[in-house]
Structure 1
């Protein structure tokens, strides 16, 4: 029986993937094997010694102490792409809201008074103040070409836009999912110089903080519209505020309100709605729950943000999984320890990711807790578990 602690409400469709005969799911369980969460901030939380995995029902993991968990040998799973359609739709809604002045014009109408005839006359007189422009022929710059960015880029083409994308980490698989009509930029600056609209779909790390700042704003076209549905901090809000007042930026649409932005002219600040659809919440919960379930039952890793993907079919009933530092001779030491216990390795799969690695070992006979402890005490081993 595996114990699962939920720190936020998780979609019932996701939790339904955890059969009750094998998984105990609760918001107050003690000594959990895994934690499922959405936005709960774990940074000040004491990590249970029993913990084996963390699953974030969403893409971003800024609310999770990933580095700390990595050092403990605990994979952190997320659900990349599960909310891609929801975010894509909101990006284009934001573009249309900004370039067609939907918000201000709605407020104008709500402020009208008098008879229907008087309102009609006021509408005809006032509508010229809210004239906008259309999307076809405009250039959309997409910074970050993961699952969401690719969806946004491809949809921009469907709507008749020119699209340029930048992502230094674009994978071969990701490139296959991106239309060949998307122009590839060699730098952020190259993309920003030509953009009528720019949208960000990157995680918040040191290299992406304030991707839009005062210096880069100077490179951009006059009248650009900036959209940030990724993470707070990717755009320097103060710099964009100043650029709006100077007439450089036409509009700013984001998912991260603040006192500076909430009543700012030409700013549309939404209450973090990017993934707030029933479909996205269901998709994220299903995806991450299945990943955590497979890890607990079989030791397989899919979509971990801190450990490599390792998926191995069970070829025997006896499996050992090991998280370790990515250092020389680690496989040799693990094999030697198993050999000294007269255990024959049926199959072994090892993958590394930067400073850490993960190993799955299928054995022809059972291994004891004593052998597992010996593996766990090898210098550089962070976690060893019998499955």
Structure 2
């Protein structure tokens, strides 16, 4: 029986993918095998030693202490692309709101309450203060062409926009999904120089934090409109407020509210609505639960943010053992595994080893049950982080 601790409300359609005869999922559970989380901050949590994995029902993992979990050999999953359509639609809405001041217009019209029969004429006379440009024919710069960025770029093309995209790590799958009319920029400066609108779709890292700053804004077109539905830290608030005041930037739409951005007539702050659709929540829950189940039952890793993708399509040998080993990516580790297994007279029927930076993950199938002393010997290797046996 696998025990799953849920830190937030996880959509029932996701939990339903976990067979009830072999899984117990609850918000209060002792010694869980894994954790399902959405937005709850885990940085101050003390995890039980039984935890083998954490699955985030969403793309961002800022609420998870990844380095600390990695040191313990705990695999962290996310669900990239599961909420992509929801975010794409919000980005398109943000583009429209950055151009057409519909929110201000609505507030102004509501202020006419009590004017009775005069309202139609007053509304007609006052509409000129809410003029805004069309998207058609304008240039959209898309920074980051992953699942969301590519969808935004393609839809912008269908709206009649020119699109220029920048992504130095563009995957083959993402490239195939892009409309052929999307132009590829070699540098960020090329995007900044041409774009009337800029939308950001990159993770927040040490390299990207504060990337939209005074230096970057200086190279942009006058009157540029900036959309940030990705991560709040990508934009330097002080710098963009100065640019809004000077008129260099015409508007900012952000999904990340902060004190200094509120009540600025050129800023639209949303309360992190990117994935706030029932469809996105369902998709993320299903994806997270399926990945967690595949890891717990088969040892497979797909969409981990800390360990490499490693998938073994073969079933665990009947009566045998599958070893799932988190280890440092250094020379001579595999030979140490095979030596220990050989000394225990255990036949290796299959092996996969994948690396990601300084870390690696190994799946080794052996015939027969592994004795405890053999497991202890594997754990005792100084470059091994964690060993988990799954018995067939």
TM-score (norm 2): 0.97
Partner in structure 2 of residue 14 of structure 1: 14
Deviation string 1:14-50 (CA, Å, 9 cap, x unpaired) is 0111111111111111111100000111111112111
| CA distance in structure 2 between the aligned counterparts of 1:194 and 1:19, rounded to whole angstroms | 53
- Which residue is 1:363 aligned to? 366
Gaps of 5+ in 1: none
After TM superposition, what 4+ stretches of structure 1 lie above 2 angstroms from structure 2?
A: 113-117
CA distance in 2, matches of 1:221, 1:320: 56
Counterparts of 2:202 and 2:260 in 1: how far apart (Å)? 23
Question: 1:166 and 1:200 mapped to 2: Cα distance?
Answer: 10
Instruction: Give yes or no for contact 1:338–1:344 (8 Å, CA) kept in 2.
Output: yes
Partner of 2:203: 203
Deviation at 1:200, TM superposition (A): 0.8
Deviation at 1:262, TM superposition (A): 2.0
Query: Partners in 2 of 1:339 and 1:158 — Cα distance?
Result: 61
Q: Distance in 1 between matches of 2:323 and 2:344?
A: 14
User: Hey, what's the Cα distance between the residues in 2 that align with 1:32 and 1:174?
Assistant: 36
Contact 1:298 1:314 in 2 (8 A): no
- Mapped to 2, the partners of 1:224 and 1:348 lie a distance apart of 53
1:115–1:179 Cα change, 3 Å: same
Cross-structure match for 1:93: 93
Please give the alpha-carbon distance, in whole angstroms, between the structure 2 residues aligned to 1:379 and 1:243. 53
Instruction: Give the Cα–Cα distance (whole angstroms) in 2 for the partners of residues 100 and 205 of structure 1.
Output: 32
Distance in structure 1 (CA, Å) of the matches to 2:246 and 2:51: 52
Once the 2 structures are TM-superposed, how far is the Cα of residue 214 of structure 1 from its aligned partner? Answer: 0.8
**Alpha carbons 1:33, 1:52 under 8 Å: kept:** yes
Matched, 1:296 2:296: yes
Q: Deviations over 1:123-153 (max 9, x none)?
A: 1221111111111111111111111111111
What is the CA–CA distance in structure 1 between the aligned matches of 2:145 and 2:91, rounded to whole Å?
14
Matches of 1:204 and 1:115 in 2, distance apart? Answer: 49
Confirm or deny that 1:268 pairs with 2:268.
Answer: yes
TM-score (structure 1 length as normaliser):
0.98
- Tell me the distance in 2 between the aligned counterparts of 1:324 and 1:279: 37
Q: Hey, what's the Cα distance between the residues in 1 that align with 2:325 and 2:175?
A: 32
Note the C-alpha offset of 1:155.
1.0
Per-residue CA distance 1:224-244 (angstroms, 9 max, x = gap)? 110111111101112111111
Cα distance in structure 1, aligned partners of 2:333 and 2:250: 56
Counterparts of 1:113 and 1:65 in 2: how far apart (Å)? 51
Q: CA deviation at 1:314?
A: 2.8
Residues in 1 aligned to 2:190 and 2:352: alpha-carbon distance in whole angstroms = 41
* Paired position in structure 2 for 1:353: 356
Name the SS for the 2:340 alignment partner: helix
Deviation at 1:114, TM superposition (A): 4.4
Distance 1:249 1:242 in 2: 9
Partner in structure 1 of residue 104 of structure 2: 104
Matched, 1:37 2:37: yes
Give the corresponding residue for 1:379.
382
Looking at structure 2, the residues matched to 336 and 74 of structure 1 have their Cα atoms a distance apart, in angstroms, of 26
Aligned to 1:135: 135
Cα distance in 2 for residues equivalent to 1:56 and 1:324: 23
How many pairs are equivalent? 387
Name the structure 2 match of 1:57. 57
Correspondence for 1:167:
167
